[in-house]
Amino acid sequence: MTHARQRSPQTSIQVIAHRGASDDAPEHTLAAYRKAIEDGADALECDVRLTADGHLVCVHDRRVNRTSNGRGAVSALELADLAALDFGSWKDREESPDWDPVPGELTSVLTLERLLELFTEVRATGRPLQLAIETKHPTRWAGQVEERLLQLLNRFELASPPADEPSPIRIMSFSGRSLYRVQAAAPALPTVYLMQFVSPRLRDGRLPAGSRIAGPGMRIVRSHPGYIERLHRAGHRVHVWTVNEPADVELCAELGVEAIITNRPKQVLSQLAQLGRN
């Protein structure tokens, strides 16, 4: 099947580990991120939520029920409450990993601060690892999420990348308002507008103010491959989530997307290498 705008086989596609190597390890645990780094991921991806006492933690859902042995909304719990929970034993209870995680890193809640420490340690070795941070909305803390996030990035000297170098950090969200806040406060940070569907006003390839990169879900790509061409014609890069199946990886490569967000970085990197796209 041929689609419009196939790119040069020499063009590489960035592989971003979705919540870490989350097919192999519990999502958003330090073990999942270490595995993604070991597997050769070009970038890591995480979701962030603000706790009741003002800490940014890497948790996808509004509530902790699915990914821990606790209950309740992240925004109503303090970091100490989350630290007492098991965030890993829910996954693959009958199997042990075929690799050797650090004790505790499979089950402990992960703060964004700790992930940034690991991230900067890896970059200090000379590896150009990147990090995509998704702000989760709606939340009771609204704009405080972006405020705390930028404070933390400033502490790590990551909020103002040099103009002549690619930013190691990008901010993603389904909330255009969140991205607008980020762009207003830190204009050098790339922003990715995530989409589960394409609203009528954006069908021509435009993005909301404050957004620089399009982040369509794989369902959009399968159903409307021509939309990727419109995004590219409008001058936008395209980062697709969540791409796990070989047929979807191949379609993304055919359409010339710039980045693939996947739970399976090792497998996707291998397939892209076979396609000459990594």
* Distance from C-alpha of 97 to C-alpha of 101, rounded to nearest angstrom: 8
With 0-12 CB in 10 A as exposed, 13-18 as middle and 19+ as buried, what is 247? exposed
Catalytic residue among 3, 28, 55, 60: 60
How many CB atoms are closer than 10 A to CB 274? 11
Distance, in Å, from the CA atom of 171 to the CA atom of 20, rounded to the nearest integer, reads: 16
Detail the DSSP E strand segments found in 184-223: 191-195, 213-216
Determine the Cα–Cα distance for residues 163 and 167; give it in Å rounded to an integer.
Answer: 8
The span from the CA of 102 to the CA of 9, in Å, is: 39
Decide if 236 is catalytic.
no
User: In the block, which residue shows the tokens 């999942």?
Assistant: 32
Q: Is 18 a catalytic residue?
A: yes
Phi and psi angles of residue 228, each rounded to the nearest 5 degrees, phi first: -65, -40
Q: How far apart are CA 19 and CA 99, in angstroms?
A: 18
Q: Which residue has the tokens 């703060």?
A: 111
Which active-site residues does the annotation give? Answer: 18, 60
